[in-house]
Amino acid sequence: MRRYLAIFLLLTIIVTVALLAPQAQQQADKRDKRDLSNFPVADSWTPESPDPIKREKRKLKSKKYNSRHSPRITEATDEIFTNSEWARGLPAFPVVKSDAVIIGDIVTAEAYVSDDHSEIYSEFVVRITKVLKDAGTTPVNNVDLIIVERSSGRLRLPSGKLIVSSTNDQDMPRVGSRYVLFLTHLSSNGGSYENDFHILTAYELQYFR
User: Mind listing the pLDDT tens digit for each residue in 153-165?
Assistant: 999 999 999 999 9
- DSSP run (H or E) holding 79: strand 79-82
Percent of the chain past pLDDT 90, that is, above it, reads 56
* Range(s) of the domain holding residue 184: 2-207
- Evaluate whether 84 touches 188 at the Cβ level (below 8 Å): yes
Looking at the structure of the chain, the number of domains it has is: 1
Report how far residue 182's alpha carbon sits from residue 180's, in angstroms, rounded to the nearest whole number.
7
Please report, for the domain that includes residue 31, its CATH number.
2.40.50.120
User: Mind listing the pLDDT tens digit for each residue in 24-52?
Assistant: 444 445 555 667 889 999 998 888 889 89
Other Cβ atoms closer than 10 A to 1: 5
Terminal C-alpha separation, the chain = 29
Report how far residue 164's alpha carbon sits from residue 78's, in angstroms, rounded to the nearest whole number.
8
> Which residues touch 140 (CB under 8 Å, ≥6 apart)?
100, 102, 128, 131, 134, 146
User: Three-state DSSP class for 130?
Assistant: strand
